[in-house]
Amino acid sequence: MKIEKITNMKWLNIFNVSYKNKKGQDSNWTFASRKQNPVLGEELKPDAVVIVPIHKTPEGDKLVLIKEFRIPLGDYEYGFPAGLIENENNVDSAKRELFEETGLNLTKIIHVSPPCVSSAGLSDESVVYVICECEGTINKDNLEENEDITANSMNLKDLKNLYKSGSKLSAKCVPFLMTFIMNGKIEFNMIPWAKI
């Protein structure tokens, strides 16, 4: 396989790969990468962390979602707090991003997923899901200048209404919304993880 860099942008570039398909025919595949020089076949090094925050409140456990203006959509999207991993481990990144985007404090890690690929036909971007508990009061004190984000602590009824609302939703968030709605409760059963 031969990889060619098509663009020379700072944050995201397009690459074209020439390869022979399983029948030996010459083929091409175009993909986008946040890496300046991606190496095909290397181990996944997660680009970003996606935080699944269970908010411990006097009214019970809620799920924290953010409403963020997304330039590529030209619109707001509801999803989980998330961000690119800087020089830090996945858990520290989750603590930092959760605090920056919601003002909440991560108090307990429930599970950290293996790195997984956002959309492998489109890009080599990979993320880790960090399922955690958090406490505190939502605020906007720590948002970055370019971030237009409103965090919401949502109970099951809120999640159902959001799911039906027609608002733009994140594909990383929707499976968890389905799960909580189907199970009729916002809960992660932690016991099985020990058995995995």
Subset of residues 20 to 39 that bind a copy of itself, contact rule: CB under 8 A: 21-23, 25, 27, 29-34, 38-39
CB neighbour class for 180 (10 Å; exposed up to 12, middle 13-18, buried from 19): buried
- The CA distance from 129 to 97, in Å, is 13
The interface with a copy of itself within residues 139-158 (CB under 8 A) comprises: 145-146, 148
**With CB under 8 A as the contact rule, which of the stretches 58-66, 85-93, 94-102, 107-115 interacts with a copy of itself?**
107-115
Determine which residue in the list 36, 89, 137, 179 makes contact with a copy of itself, applying CB under 8 A. Answer: 179
Q: Which is nearer to a copy of itself, 30 or 137 (CB)?
A: 30
Separation of first and last alpha carbons in the chain = 36
- The CA distance from 27 to 127, in Å, is 28
Which DSSP letter does residue 9 get?
-
Q: Which is nearer to a copy of itself, 56 or 111 (CB)?
A: 111
Determine which residue in the list 73, 88, 135, 142 makes contact with a copy of itself, applying CB under 8 A. Answer: 73
Determine which residue in the list 1, 4, 89, 137 makes contact with a copy of itself, applying CB under 8 A. Answer: 1
CA distances (Å), 178 to each of 34, 82, 174, in order? 30, 19, 6
Determine which residue in the list 102, 123, 151, 186 makes contact with a copy of itself, applying CB under 8 A. Answer: 123
130 counts as binding a copy of itself under rule CB under 8 A: no
Unique residue bearing structure tokens 């996945």:
90
